[in-house]
Structure 1
Amino acid sequence: MQFDEIAGLRGSSAAWRLLRADNAPLILSFLGRVFVDENIREISASHLASLLDDELYALNKRLGEGTFPKTPKAYLDDWSAPAAGWLRKYYIADSDEPHYDATPSVERAVAWVNALRERGFVGTESRLNTVFELLRQIVYGTETDPEIRLTELRRRRAEIDAEIDAVERGDITVLDDTGRSDRYQQFADIARALLSDFREVETNFRALDRQMRERIATWGGTKGELLDEVVGSRNLISDSDQGRSFQAFYDLLLSTDRLDELTGLIGRVQTLGVSGTDPRLGHIHHDWLDAGGRAQATVRQLSEQLRRFLDDQVWLENRRVMDLLRGIETTAIAVRDQRTDDFRHDIDAAAPAIVLPMERPLYRKPAAASVDSSGIAAGHAEGSSAALFEQVHVDPAPLIKSVHKILRKQPQITLGEVVATAPLRQGLAELVTYLALDDAAFAKTFDDNATDTVTWSDDDGVTRTARIPRVIFTRAATTAGVARR
């Protein structure tokens, strides 16, 4: 880094300002414990002020009265001010009480302070293996030559075959305590860093939304060009690098097989007795799901706010047009009775262009076409018409019950996963009924950027396959809150 870049960061970085603040130990310890350690991403002002009041009382009692003289509300106002930028203060729907969330700057400052601690053990072997694996994924993931890819796949297959032969011979290599500690330390670092990155992902989504609003507010072209710009950028958030990476991670985490495997692996690791085991990492994947769901909710909220913002812009534009028309009418009435010599108005022509009716061509009867209907014999219908009277009725209640049953265990599921759990019995009619489900306990979202394949067997035993846009059932907010309690 260059001198000017460091000097600029020193003046603009909120994390740097936090480290230089006089009350940095109080801010880092309190905000780090509440928002980072406990993974709280939304807390009311009254609750946060109550927690800070207890913290200030304990510190003043231990360090001396007057060490922290301000009230909790005053400290929170200072920390959420634009000059500080350590707390995000906002209002949620149907509430007149402000809420708080930590900014990514707090995450960075807390992580940097934690990195200053002396570590008795620093693992390096697992990180080198991770470097090798990442490089292989980059190189062979972008390789288009089939021979090179086959060579790599055969090499990996030979390694797996050799390991299988060794296990069959009874030659089993087990990680020692050092190897387990090394890998667990890297897992803990990545898990915590991934959880803290979600807060920065939300901030980046809001920055993209702010850029779109600024573009609309400062638009100088026509309304049609503005609509083209907005419609062309309606997926600005989801199509960005940040959005695509987050969606890929979230889809992978929502996979039932991968989630079950992850739960089992974390549970087994926590019981191996690895030194330095953190109990909180036993449910870190649930924290990932909660943080990812909040980021998804942020994207939906920003899209809804952008739509309302555009509606307001259209209303203001229509009001401006009406004001102009009223101004023209008022001016016309004011000058109606005024006769001035210098008042003039240009017209298109001195006389109108007239077209007489007789100048148009007369009606002409169209020529009749001769049709020869001789030699036509009566036909006989082939096949049975009974199928026209067959009706298939699909009861939506069992389908809704199947979706409820799965959403009690997880906040979100796709239609393909629902059908995999409860196979189709009435074929295409049942699939169409799934697409039309409507229930207050869950919301249904269509993702046109992804597709799912649904397979079923008809009455004749023939396997049918349908490719549909991805349908996501999401647990409603009230239902999700009850399920968590």
Structure 2
Amino acid sequence: MDYLKVKKLKEGDPSIKLLNADNSPLIISFLYQQFKEKNTLELSKDDLESNLSNYLYYLKTQEGIEYPRQPAEYLEDWTNSEYLRSRYSTNDVIYYELTHHTEKALYWVKNLIETRKFVGTESRLLTIINTLKELAYKNTNNPTERLNELKKQKQEIELEIEKAEAGITDPLTDTQIRERYSDICKTLDDMLTDFKEIEHNFRLLDMETRKKLIQKDIQKGEILDEVVSTEDDIRNSDQGKSLEAFWNLLQSQEQLDELDKLIEMTLTIQQIQEVKQQSFTLEDMVIKLSRAGVKVQKVNHSLAEQLSRFLDNRTYLENKRIMDILSDIKSIAFEIKDTPPTEANFLEISSKAEIEMVMNRSLWTPKTMTNLRKEEIVLGSPDDSDALILYNQFSVDKRELEGRIQELLETHSQISLRKIIETHPVKKGIDEILAYIEIASNDKKAVINEDLSEIMIISNTISQKRFWIQMPQIIFCRS
């Protein structure tokens, strides 16, 4: 570690500033209770202010510790210090979430305070061995080594099958179960912290782009080349490729169904029931990972929107400048039309002039005449129209659709709209699809992934038509 880098980190890193703050016990304890203990990603300003007011009152009356400022002032300071990030929702409500700097600080303090009952070593060693086997045997140039390993795995699987058929079980010990469950929860916490860092990296790119967009002398080509190159570097990096593979895996309905089944089976184990109250991360694993991935995508979409606005504004300004130059040329030409320049060569063109001959022009094409005919208007009669159409209207019951969603979420941690339609086919056409979209738009737990499209087959029993539509993927998550 370089001395100057460590010194700069101590002076400017928000994580270290949080640990060195005068009221760091208040900040760390309160934020950990509100976000980590409650497994909450974001809270509204009103809720956070109210909870902070109650917490300050508790410290004053129970612990004798007094903080004189108002809760809103503390939240504003914490946001300016990059401990919290605020955003406006569609209905103009302010929401707060932890920054990745605060996530790191809370994670580190938690590990310092909490004393683990045991430090598991067996499961991690087995993980290392299995990973080494995967690296070694899947990348070896010797097919014999690969074949021998596969035969060995086959023999082990056949032996396990024989034991199962004979009713012989070989379960893990209580220590092994608790150790593996602890490793899973810790890995999940690490992944969520890593997602915060990935989101922070995209936010930095977005901020740098915004700074460059306000510079008047920067060219479109320069900023586009730099931003696109940076995005390509991120996407083609090991981190970007791993994130893309992770997201594709998480969006697979087959993988999600298997994951739900594994989680459900794991949580029924008696030893897990005894320790799972210490951590609620496994139950909401898929939902949390999905929301973390969507937040990264939203930041990336924000960057694309900024570039789009920049290009539109620059194009408008350039066209306006061209029209101003042409107008100036016309004004000058009109002023000197009676006193033209005396020099013969008053204007030079570096390139060759393009000559367009008259015969090169296309022939004149006569306009097509539109023939209008006058029809006699006949007065209508009430008997000519079928009034039964007015009584055959149908409506979509959103409560019924919401009931279908909740019914499927009882057995799945999350379910896609395509899976819902496969279970409950659409019978009222596009109106029923629009009702599902409205439900997802009003549901904070639902995820609308615009980067992934799905094709669905729907039907309308009234019109007796059946057709397919293509729309963004919609995923409903369990609360």
TM-score, scaled relative to structure 1: 0.68
The CA deviation at 1:200 is: 2.3
The CA deviation at 1:34 is: 1.9
CA distance in 2, matches of 1:404, 1:445: 25
The structure-2 alpha-carbon separation of the partners of 1:338 and 1:64, relative to structure 1 and needing over 3 Å to count, comes to: farther
1:430-445 matches, cutoff 5 A? 439=434, 441-442=436-437, 445=450
1:284-323 matches, cutoff 5 A? 284-285=284-285, 286-323=287-324
CA distance in 1, matches of 2:331, 2:97: 53
CA distance in 1, matches of 2:160, 2:341: 104
CA distance in 2, matches of 1:405, 1:258: 22
Match of 1:75 in 2: 74
The CA deviation at 1:347 is: 5.0
CA distance in 1, matches of 2:328, 2:259: 68
Task: Specify the code of the residue in structure 2 equivalent to 1:186.
Answer: D
CA contact (8 A) 2:206 2:302 kept: no
CA distance in 1, matches of 2:257, 2:163: 29
The CA deviation at 1:184 is: 1.6
Match of 2:106 in 1: 110
2:99 equivalent to 1:98: no
Task: Specify the code of the residue in structure 2 equivalent to 1:85.
Answer: E
- The number of residue pairs the alignment matches comes to 410
The structure-2 alpha-carbon separation of the partners of 1:224 and 1:197, relative to structure 1 and needing over 3 Å to count, comes to: closer
SS at match of 1:281: coil
Match of 2:260 in 1: 263
CA distance in 1, matches of 2:471, 2:136: 34
2:165 equivalent to 1:164: no
Counting aligned pairs with the same residue, the percent is 33
1:49-448 matches, cutoff 5 A? 49-64=49-64, 67-81=66-80, 84-95=81-92, 97-116=93-112, 117-143=114-140, 146-168=143-165, 171-213=168-210, 223=220, 241-271=238-268, 272-274=270-272, 275-277=274-276, 278=278, 280-285=280-285, 286-329=287-330, 345-346=346-347, 409=409, 413=416, 439=434, 441-442=436-437, 445=450, 447=452
CA distance in 2, matches of 1:353, 1:324: 22
The structure-2 alpha-carbon separation of the partners of 1:2 and 1:260, relative to structure 1 and needing over 3 Å to count, comes to: same
CA distance in 1, matches of 2:124, 2:228: 44
CA contact (8 A) 2:174 2:271 kept: no
The CA deviation at 1:316 is: 3.2
The CA deviation at 1:22 is: 0.9
Please identify, of 148-157 and 53-62, the stretch whose mean Cα deviation from structure 2 is larger. Answer: 148-157
SS at match of 1:280: coil
Task: Specify the code of the residue in structure 2 equivalent to 1:98.
Answer: I
* Deviation digits for residues 168-221 of structure 1 (CA, Å, limit 9, x no counterpart): 455532222211121121112112222333322322232344455566666978
SS at match of 2:284: helix
* Deviation digits for residues 363-395 of structure 1 (CA, Å, limit 9, x no counterpart): xxxxxxxxxxxxxxxxxxxxxxxxxxxxxxxxx
Task: Specify the code of the residue in structure 1 equivalent to 2:35.
Answer: F
Match of 1:382 in 2: none
CA contact (8 A) 1:32 1:106 kept: no
* Deviation digits for residues 127-168 of structure 1 (CA, Å, limit 9, x no counterpart): 111111222333344446544433332222222223333444
The CA deviation at 1:411 is: 6.4
The structure-2 alpha-carbon separation of the partners of 1:86 and 1:222, relative to structure 1 and needing over 3 Å to count, comes to: closer
The CA deviation at 1:114 is: 1.0
Task: Specify the code of the residue in structure 1 equivalent to 2:12.
Answer: S
The CA deviation at 1:73 is: 1.5
CA distance in 2, matches of 1:138, 1:215: 43
CA distance in 1, matches of 2:150, 2:339: 92
The CA deviation at 1:223 is: 5.0
CA contact (8 A) 2:88 2:94 kept: yes
The structure-2 alpha-carbon separation of the partners of 1:233 and 1:179, relative to structure 1 and needing over 3 Å to count, comes to: closer
Task: Specify the code of the residue in structure 1 equivalent to 2:77.
Answer: D
The CA deviation at 1:53 is: 1.5
The CA deviation at 1:111 is: 0.7
CA contact (8 A) 1:198 1:292 kept: yes
Tell me the C-alpha RMSD between the 2 structures.
4.7
SS at match of 1:439: helix
CA distance in 2, matches of 1:314, 1:70: 49
CA distance in 1, matches of 2:281, 2:356: 88
Task: Specify the code of the residue in structure 1 equivalent to 2:104.
Answer: R
The CA deviation at 1:70 is: 1.2
CA distance in 2, matches of 1:202, 1:355: 57
Please identify, of 27-36 and 243-252, the stretch whose mean Cα deviation from structure 2 is larger. Answer: 243-252
The structure-2 alpha-carbon separation of the partners of 1:111 and 1:225, relative to structure 1 and needing over 3 Å to count, comes to: closer
The CA deviation at 1:315 is: 2.7
The structure-2 alpha-carbon separation of the partners of 1:227 and 1:147, relative to structure 1 and needing over 3 Å to count, comes to: same
CA distance in 2, matches of 1:438, 1:308: 31
Match of 1:17 in 2: 17
More RCO (CA 8 Å, sep 6+): 2
SS at match of 1:276: helix
The CA deviation at 1:76 is: 1.2
The structure-2 alpha-carbon separation of the partners of 1:243 and 1:22, relative to structure 1 and needing over 3 Å to count, comes to: same
CA distance in 2, matches of 1:318, 1:257: 52
SS at match of 2:434: coil
User: What runs of 5+ residues in structure 1 fail to find an aligned partner?
Assistant: 361-396, 425-432, 455-469
CA contact (8 A) 2:185 2:279 kept: no
TM-score, scaled relative to structure 2: 0.68
The structure-2 alpha-carbon separation of the partners of 1:69 and 1:144, relative to structure 1 and needing over 3 Å to count, comes to: farther
The structure-2 alpha-carbon separation of the partners of 1:121 and 1:227, relative to structure 1 and needing over 3 Å to count, comes to: closer
The structure-2 alpha-carbon separation of the partners of 1:186 and 1:228, relative to structure 1 and needing over 3 Å to count, comes to: closer
CA contact (8 A) 1:89 1:98 kept: yes
The structure-2 alpha-carbon separation of the partners of 1:422 and 1:273, relative to structure 1 and needing over 3 Å to count, comes to: same
The CA deviation at 1:257 is: 3.4
